[in-house]
Structure 1
């Protein structure tokens, strides 16, 4: 069995969609309603659905909930960080290499108020 898709409820579907298209190469394959649902396809075939069906609530995620975006090298982690920073994305911490885990990563708060971890496995 393979995890193939995830739906994340967000207050602004268009804004969150643009974030994933711009920084992670997702491609929007379908939009339903007036930004009630956007279906995004990742390069590896993973489907990310972004939704806001009710239009009257802002989803609240637990503080440790996050989505992981894996890149091939630590240099790509740094390139993504540098690009986001140049674009004015709020970033609290620079990428860090975690010796025990063998990863280089940083976290960013995505539009929609949930964390995204950008990481590479060394």
Structure 2
């Protein structure tokens, strides 16, 4: 089985859509309504929808909820980190290796107030 689709409920669809296009290479296939839902796709065919159907609720994710974006190399992880940092995004600690997990990563809070882990297997 392969996970190929995820919907994230967010307060501002346009802002979150732009974040994923800018930093993770998603392209927007369609926006429905007045930014009610945006359908994005990455180069591997993963479909990410960003939605706010009611426009009256602010979604709340559990404290430990996060989405991971696996990169091929440590250099790619560092490049995303540096780009976000240069753009004024609070990226926290510089990417580092987690010895017990065999990964190098950093965490950033995306528009919509959920965590993203940017990582590579080392």
* Within-5 A mapping of 1:66-77: 66-77=66-77
Shift of 1:4: 1.3
Other-structure match for 1:104: 104
Does residue 1:39 correspond to 2:36, yes or no? no
Report the counterpart of residue 118 of structure 2 in structure 1: 118
Structure 1 gaps of 5+ residues are none
SS in 1 for 2:93: coil
CA distance in 2: counterparts of 1:85 and 1:51, whole angstroms: 26
Query: Which residue is 1:8 aligned to?
Result: 8
List 4+ stretches of structure 1 deviating above 6 A: none
Measure how far apart 1:95 and its partner are: 0.7
Residues in 2 aligned to 1:102 and 1:3: alpha-carbon distance in whole angstroms: 22
Q: How far off its partner does 1:75 sit? A: 1.1
Give the distance between the partners of 2:73 and 2:2, measured in 1 at CA.
24
CA distance in 2 between counterparts of 1:92 and 1:117 reads 12
CA distance, structure 2, for counterparts of residue 57 and residue 38 of structure 1: 17
